[in-house]
Chain A
Amino acid sequence: DAMVIQNPRYQVTQFGKPVTLSCSQTLNHNVMYWYQQKSSQAPKLLFHYYDKDFNNEADTPDNFQSRRPNTSFCFLDIRSPGLGDAAMYLCATSRGLGVETQYFGPGTRLLVL
């Protein structure tokens, strides 16, 4: 049973063309996270939502935005993708903050042409 779902699994966009990645969860978790993972690197946290409270990592570029319209869904908007934004984008959820397990979705691989 899928618990954290990401669509699409692969996304191709053009340089500078806005793109939205989506994530949904069936766990009813309070926290949703977005990570960027480049090849052979660790996932890097971009931001997270605790319920409706948005928390941006200090070094996340302004080019990256997020929306969480309800508990189940969270979106990652890249306003003007550059070649350096090509990566795997992982969504994760956890019941709460602190010492909590994170459950990851399968990821969306973004290609920027």
Chain B
Amino acid sequence: GQQVMQIPQYQHVQEGEDFTTYCNSSTTLSNIQWYKQRPGGHPVFLIQLVKSGEVKKQKRLTFQFGEAKKNSSLHITATQTTDVGTYFCAVNTGNQFYFGTGTSLTVIP
């Protein structure tokens, strides 16, 4: 089946540093969603990108969909301890819904 790879798998940053996770697909994606899962919690929807080259911002978070719609990124500026968790990209084709492999973020105070 289709796979969406995320890199890095793990990331440790000092509080205040920036963080980026990348989501890569071998096939063209119709859309990309991003979810955050806190330790011990459940995935929570963050954003959805549909258009080629689309960029959306939520406060310190910037989401981007690649021009070829095969990759996406999530960038966090000046991380805080509340940003700790695993960030998943996800693809919803209507018939299929699958998560990327996830990036686990640790923020060191």
Point out residues on A near B: beta carbons under 8 Å. Answer: 33, 40-45, 48, 55, 58-59, 90, 92, 97-107
A77 to B83, CA, bound (A): 35
Q: How many residues of B contact A (CB 8 A)?
A: 25
Q: Name the 5 nearest CB pairs between A and B, nearest first.
A: A42-B99, A98-B94, A104-B42, A101-B45, A97-B94
B85 interface hit (Cβ, 8 Å): no
CB of A57 to closest CB in B, whole Å = 8
Cross-chain pairs A/B with CB under 8 angstroms, 23 sampled? A42-B88, A42-B100, A42-B101, A42-B102, A45-B97, A45-B98, A48-B97, A55-B95, A59-B1, A90-B42, A90-B43, A92-B43, A97-B94, A97-B95, A98-B92, A98-B93, A98-B94, A99-B31, A99-B92, A101-B48, A102-B43, A102-B97, A106-B41
Contact A105 B97 (CB under 8 A): no
Contact B99 A102 (CB under 8 A): no
Contact A99 B48 (CB under 8 A): yes
- A interface: dominant SS: loop
Contact A105 B42 (CB under 8 A): yes
A18 to B19, CA, bound (A): 44
A100 to B30, CA, bound (A): 12
Q: Tell me the nearest residue of chain A to B43, going by C-beta.
A: A104
Given the complex, which residues of A lie within 8 Å of B31, measured CB to CB?
99
Q: Tell me the nearest residue of chain A to B10, going by C-beta.
A: A40
Contact A99 B97 (CB under 8 A): no
Given the complex, which residues of A lie within 8 Å of B78, measured CB to CB?
none
Binary per-residue interface labels of chain B (34-52) against chain A in the complex, 1 for a CB within 8 Å, 0 otherwise: 0000000111110010100
Given the complex, which residues of B lie within 8 Å of A98, measured CB to CB?
92-94
- Given A98-B92, A99-B50, also A107-B42 (CB < 8 A): yes
A104 to B45, CA, bound (A): 9
A72 to B1, CA, bound (A): 31
CB of A19 to closest CB in B, whole Å = 20
B33 interface hit (Cβ, 8 Å): yes
Given the complex, which residues of B lie within 8 Å of A92, measured CB to CB?
43
